[in-house]
Amino acid sequence: MPRIAYVNGRYVRHSSAMVHIEDRGYQFADGVYEVCEIRHGYIVDMTRHLNRLDRSLGELRISWPMSRDALTQVIRQTLRRNHVRNGLFYLQVTRGVARRDHVFPVQGTPPSLVITAKSTDPSIIAAKNANGIKAITVFDNRWDRVDIKSVGLLPNAMARQQAKEAGAQEAIYIDADGMVKEGAATNVWIVDRNGTLVTRPADHGILRGITRTTLMDVGAKLELKIEERNFSVPEMLGAREVFITAATSICFPVVSIDGQTIANGHPGSISHKIREVFFDVAEKIAI
């Protein structure tokens, strides 16, 4: 069964799907994206993802490619055509196609919209949860508007590659004061010495992850104490638990950072509990 992509108004074979060479996403990374999880035939937290898309588009003054209702229908159709039950959809909106010029194209230039969907193997995620993952720390060299989910991900790609070459799966960004920011494609959490769940405030220094937001609801349901505050690398290395969150992974335990073992080197109980109830708390909309 061929994979199908939605590209600017048409459902086309993924293998031959194309955008114009002067799409501003291609030339200037002038676009935004969302990645949303699909689980057991349900779209997880779509309302929050589309709210964040709205914010990203607004911050960059890119218009919606179609109404929110129409976009929801196209997302559903793309998922159906790819028979996704467990997996994700990827959605990208750029400022559209125009002759190369740094300034914005003339008003009325239609934004480009691409949506892809893919199935993922739940057993790979289960193995990562059972064993935990390794991470490295890297200095944050990104621009200061990482609160916008822009497709300008070159520093993130470089950091992930650096992690891979060090035998790790995630790179954790550190700011100029030695405080933890977020992962190359995840938010970072610790369970501190008092058993409190701690994550960095979602100001302009990090992306406000949707999984991060829903995890706050999960924490409230589990009656866990949650604090949004900065924490240092030594505090993270000495934490009871460290885990990372993203729509694609929900909550992966981190058992080693820069070659140093976290706690006893095994995934912790809090992240386990969070995973158990996450999907009961998250919004689920049938495909």
Active centre residues (catalytic): 149
In the DSSP assignment, the letter for residue 38 is E
Q: Are strands 197-199 and 187-191 parallel, antiparallel or unpaired?
A: antiparallel
Q: Are strands 133-139 and 112-119 parallel, antiparallel or unpaired?
A: unpaired
CB of 143 to ligand PDD, least distance (A): 12
Binding-site size, ligand PDD (CB under 6 A): 14
Do the Cβ atoms of 128 and 162 come closer than 8 Å? no
Count CA atoms within 13 Å of residue 246 on its CB side. 19
Touching ligand PDD, residues 229-248 (CB under 6 A): 245-248
Do the Cβ atoms of 142 and 158 come closer than 8 Å? no
CB of 172 to ligand PDD, least distance (A): 11
State the burial class of residue 125 (Cβ atoms within 10 Å of its Cβ: 0-12, 13-18, 19+).
middle
Which residue among 114, 172, 190, 207 contacts ligand PDD (CB under 6 A)? 207
CB of 209 to ligand PDD, least distance (A): 3
Q: How far apart are CA 267 and CA 25, in angstroms?
A: 39
Is 185 an interacting residue with respect to ligand PDD (CB under 6 A)? Answer: yes
Is 137 an interacting residue with respect to ligand PDD (CB under 6 A)? Answer: no
Q: From the CB of residue 258, how many other CB atoms can be counted at a distance below 10 Å?
A: 14
Pick 27 or 120: Cβ nearer ligand PDD: 120
Is 210 an interacting residue with respect to ligand PDD (CB under 6 A)? Answer: yes
Please provide residue 246's backbone torsions phi and psi, each rounded to the nearest 5 degrees.
-165, 160
Q: How far apart are CA 287 and CA 278, in angstroms?
A: 19
Pick 185 or 190: Cβ nearer ligand PDD: 185
Pick 30 or 182: Cβ nearer ligand PDD: 182
Which residues sit opposite 93 in a β-bridge? 32, 113
Which residues sit opposite 132 in a β-bridge? none
**Tokens 């977020």 identify what position?**
182
Is 197 an interacting residue with respect to ligand PDD (CB under 6 A)? Answer: no
Pick 20 or 229: Cβ nearer ligand PDD: 229
Is 275 an interacting residue with respect to ligand PDD (CB under 6 A)? Answer: no
Of all helices (H) and strands (E), which one includes residue 50? helix 46-60
CB of 32 to ligand PDD, least distance (A): 11
Which residue among 12, 17, 19, 35 contacts ligand PDD (CB under 6 A)? 35
Is 202 an interacting residue with respect to ligand PDD (CB under 6 A)? Answer: no
Is 186 an interacting residue with respect to ligand PDD (CB under 6 A)? Answer: yes
CB of 76 to ligand PDD, least distance (A): 20
Pick 129 or 187: Cβ nearer ligand PDD: 187
CB of 186 to ligand PDD, least distance (A): 5
Is 46 an interacting residue with respect to ligand PDD (CB under 6 A)? Answer: no
Report residue 188 CA to chain centroid gap. 12
Return residues touching ligand PDD (CB under 6 A).
35, 182, 185-187, 207, 209-212, 245-248
